[in-house]
Structure 1
Amino acid sequence: MKLSLKKLIVTSILAFSIVYAQEDNSVAGDNASEPVDSNVFIEDKPAEEKEKTDDKVAEADSKVESENAPVEVPDLVALYGDRPEVEYWRNIYLTEKWQKVLRGILENAVEYRVYVRKCVQEKEVPLELEYLPVVESGYKTAVRSKSGAIGMWQFMANSVKPFLKLNEYVDERYDPWLSTQAGIAKLKDNYKIFNDWLIAIAAYNCGNGKMRKTISRAGTSDYWELVEKKALPKQTAEYLPKLIAIADLAINYEKYEVDLPRHDTEYEELVDERDAIFDYVPVKKPYMVSAIAKESGVSEKILKHLNPALTKGFTPPAAEYQLRLPVGKKEDVELALTRIQPIEFPFQYTVVKGDSLWSISRKFGVTVQALCDTNGIKENAILKIGKVLYVPSVKN
């Protein structure tokens, strides 16, 4: 509501307000510091106090306009591309060996990378984040670090909530599309905490708790100062320089005369990859991916490629799962699901000393292959004592 309109309202009820104020002189005083919307005694204020109220209204209006204004996203390459730390890594990636490595990563990842680019543009985060998975995982979707971080965006199991699902049947860290959304959401959360993109990105690497302690001990929240003081872990100190150097080379390939994928043309040409165009079918029962593939005519390899979160080779038994499909295959898969029988799990077996897949399969009267498919393991897998195996009663 504009102030002029409020003045009209106040004028119309002025008589009442004066009487009320006379009955309880404390009201105006108590409300003197309240927001304008809760104060109906504006006309009773001294001139200088009214000016303060007007200032508050203007400040509130300004705040609303600021919140609705476009977010200003920093250009990390332009701001920090000339720093010696970035120059060091740029020179490394300009060598013939590392140009080849970088080219291989960017070419192999193009299916996901142009999608990531679309997401970072839509979410109003630094565009250089398209190349963060290069530093994190080499853009590999199934990679696991020594510390247990998994997937393209390298989420630890204790950091997936509330961004991704992780349970006995589904691990969305392996899903490049869902984990991209999660990675960007996590980075935006970091930015809200630290209000600095360099620190937010660095904290994605070392963790928010570690970053807070580092800033507290070092007495500065400037990333480059933290690097110079050697306050950060070595990996985190190299994290941003690597990212900025790689982004600079990939975006400005002509300037550096490097043989890398064409940054602009690939984005316009790979429309399906960029927009992640798929069909989806909600599945509420456990079906083997191999059975769905066989009955629908969709390649099992493609189904597994599009649904890497299904770590055991079948859809969850007690929760709805959105099965991702190639465009045009929705009706085929829906029909297939009416023809195949869902898996039943009458048994869950805990591995004991001396067990093998063969002995367990004989015990329950199922094939070794069925056990492997159901539990997402290979026939030559070494079973750990205490591991729980799901034993199917339906062979697909």
Structure 2
Amino acid sequence: MRKRLKSIKLVFRGIGLCFALITFAALSLPTTLGFAAEQDDPLPSYPSLMANVAFWKKVYAQYSTTQGIIHDARNLNIIYEVITLKDWFEPGAYSYNDAKESCAKGYYQNLLKRIVSADARPSLEQERVLGLFAAYNAKNLLKDAHLNVRMQLGQKDRFLAGLIRSGKYLDEIRRILRAYDLPEDLAYLPHVESSFNYQASSKCGAAGIWQFTNPTGRRFMTINHVIDERRDPIIATHAAARLLKENYRMLGEWPTALTAYNHGPGGMLRAQRIKGGYENIFKYYNGPSFGFASRNFYSEFLAAREIARNYQAYFGEIELDEPVYRDSITLPGHIAIKDLARHFCVDIDTLEELNPSLRSSVISGRQYVPKGYCLYLPSKMASDSTFTAENIPPELFKSIRKSSLYCRVRPGDTANKIAKRYGVQVRDLIHANGLNAHATIRLGQNLRIPTQKQDI
């Protein structure tokens, strides 16, 4: 190993000085662009975050979802290669892209192992990779670099789509954050969480633009078989504001509080007790669950904020979606959505768009819009005296909601089998019963079947 490291040092003598100067210039540039921490900015950057913020800016504004960035997971300056992937909507794209990612990562893992173990003079390809480490301590980084090869999918097209979508609610989100006395720039967090995709769902069961999981969402919102308020961007923003305010009160600084949105306040309290302020946590904390996503969460936010604030510099002139204006009425009873659409002369698609918290079981008519629901209507319609809840014909309201069919889980049952047995969608079964993203069920469990049948 000593002989090999000596060989590496000899290579660095030829390329190290040049590479170090280029790297120093590149990393010094953001400071002149306002990346240095500002005392009056509650969401500051730090010198130690510059490389990470620069990396995520490339992810969001340079590389698209048909490009994969092969990089070192600890030092985001080190990008080995950018590979080309198939469009994810093409047939067979997932298997093709997975294979290409595995091949690229395997190639660099093996190359890095050979660099560390070989005694001969490095090849041209090995010299190229060694040059990526020239500005760093080779002994510390190269030894286990093969364990830290990672691929990050580009997000440029998704980020641009999110920018356009954000026009619908961004002003209202800012107003809500001001009302909670929170930094308005927190309005850019959904770019990181969901690309402002109002229908976003994650594999761990998080939903909506703020990506609340079921357990956390239930602390602040209604989530049941007919309503999921996580999917309403305004209701969910109130919930996010309350959660973020809780985090800040507990942790005392916004970078740490914001990271707690991903890592959890308990985890960040432990990190804070061990390492102190956010920058020390970022640089030195190695908690068992404080992985790549948590360490980079705040850097991602800073990159997203910079791009969203100055999107013309990255994407040119684009037209954002028009703001959505809506008024509301409170329903005094259970009612079918088709009856509401007919009464207000509004199509069901419009009601669905204005009321994203209503589950598909309500939109399809399998369940009623529940009593007490705050129904959103096109702006100014609800303020018209002829378009009030009192003017809805009483006979349209139901005194009780539709009954549900239940099924007891038997040996050998899976969510897929039960959904097929009753002719319903698995996702509806998951929503109706608050199942996790893997649709885990247990023997003897009673499952609500989302169906039009009235009998139990």
What does 1:198-217 align with in structure 2 at a 5 Å threshold? 198-216=255-273
Identify the residue that residue 175 of structure 1 maps to in structure 2: 232
What does 1:1-396 align with in structure 2 at a 5 Å threshold? 74-76=41-43, 83-95=50-62, 97=64, 98-216=155-273, 219-231=274-286, 232-253=290-311, 256-259=313-316, 261=318, 272-273=323-324, 277-311=325-359, 312-313=361-362, 314-315=367-368, 317=370, 319-330=371-382, 331-332=386-387, 334=389, 335-338=391-394, 340-342=396-398, 344-345=400-401, 347-351=403-407, 386-389=446-449
Kindly tell me: are residues 235 and 340 of structure 1, through their superposed partners in 2, closer, same or farther at Cα, counting changes over 3 Å? same
CA displacement at 1:341 relative to structure 2: 4.3
User: Equivalents in 1 of 2:306, 2:317: separation in Å?
Assistant: 12
Kindly tell me: are residues 391 and 139 of structure 1, through their superposed partners in 2, closer, same or farther at Cα, counting changes over 3 Å? closer
8 Å contact 1:350–1:386 — kept in the other structure?
Answer: yes
CA displacement at 1:129 relative to structure 2: 1.3
8 Å contact 1:347–1:390 — kept in the other structure?
Answer: no
Seq. identity, %: 21
Describe the superposition over 1:117-147 as per-residue Cα deviations: whole angstroms up to 9, x where unpaired. Answer: 3323443323331211111112122322222
CA displacement at 1:241 relative to structure 2: 0.7
CA displacement at 1:191 relative to structure 2: 0.4
Kindly tell me: are residues 303 and 346 of structure 1, through their superposed partners in 2, closer, same or farther at Cα, counting changes over 3 Å? closer
- Give the aligned length: 297
8 Å contact 1:278–1:327 — kept in the other structure?
Answer: yes
Kindly tell me: are residues 78 and 342 of structure 1, through their superposed partners in 2, closer, same or farther at Cα, counting changes over 3 Å? same
**Superposed structure 1 runs of 4+ greater than 6 Å apart:** 78-82, 353-361, 390-394
TM value normalised by structure 2: 0.56
**Amino acid aligned to 1:320:** G
CA displacement at 1:351 relative to structure 2: 2.8
User: Equivalents in 2 of 1:337, 1:80: separation in Å?
Assistant: 64
User: Equivalents in 2 of 1:359, 1:241: separation in Å?
Assistant: 47
Describe the superposition over 1:317-344 as per-residue Cα deviations: whole angstroms up to 9, x where unpaired. Answer: 5x51111111233334633453524274
Kindly tell me: are residues 290 and 80 of structure 1, through their superposed partners in 2, closer, same or farther at Cα, counting changes over 3 Å? farther
Consecutive unaligned residues of structure 2, counting only runs of 5 or more, are 1-38, 65-154, 434-438
CA displacement at 1:299 relative to structure 2: 1.4
Kindly tell me: are residues 81 and 226 of structure 1, through their superposed partners in 2, closer, same or farther at Cα, counting changes over 3 Å? closer
User: Equivalents in 2 of 1:260, 1:253: separation in Å?
Assistant: 8
**Amino acid aligned to 1:93:** Y
User: Equivalents in 1 of 2:231, 2:192: separation in Å?
Assistant: 17
User: Equivalents in 1 of 2:267, 2:234: separation in Å?
Assistant: 28
- Rg larger in structure: 1
Provide the secondary structure at the position in 1 that maps to 2:404.
strand
Kindly tell me: are residues 261 and 227 of structure 1, through their superposed partners in 2, closer, same or farther at Cα, counting changes over 3 Å? farther
Identify the residue that residue 35 of structure 2 maps to in structure 1: none
Describe the superposition over 1:299-358 as per-residue Cα deviations: whole angstroms up to 9, x where unpaired. Answer: 1011111222222315555x5111111123333463345352427457432136799899
Kindly tell me: are residues 182 and 236 of structure 1, through their superposed partners in 2, closer, same or farther at Cα, counting changes over 3 Å? same
Identify the residue that residue 147 of structure 2 maps to in structure 1: none
Kindly tell me: are residues 347 and 77 of structure 1, through their superposed partners in 2, closer, same or farther at Cα, counting changes over 3 Å? closer
8 Å contact 2:244–2:261 — kept in the other structure?
Answer: yes
8 Å contact 1:137–1:151 — kept in the other structure?
Answer: yes
8 Å contact 1:344–1:392 — kept in the other structure?
Answer: no
TM value normalised by structure 1: 0.64
Kindly tell me: are residues 108 and 234 of structure 1, through their superposed partners in 2, closer, same or farther at Cα, counting changes over 3 Å? same
**Amino acid aligned to 1:94:** A
Give the alignment's Cα RMSD to 1 decimal: 3.8
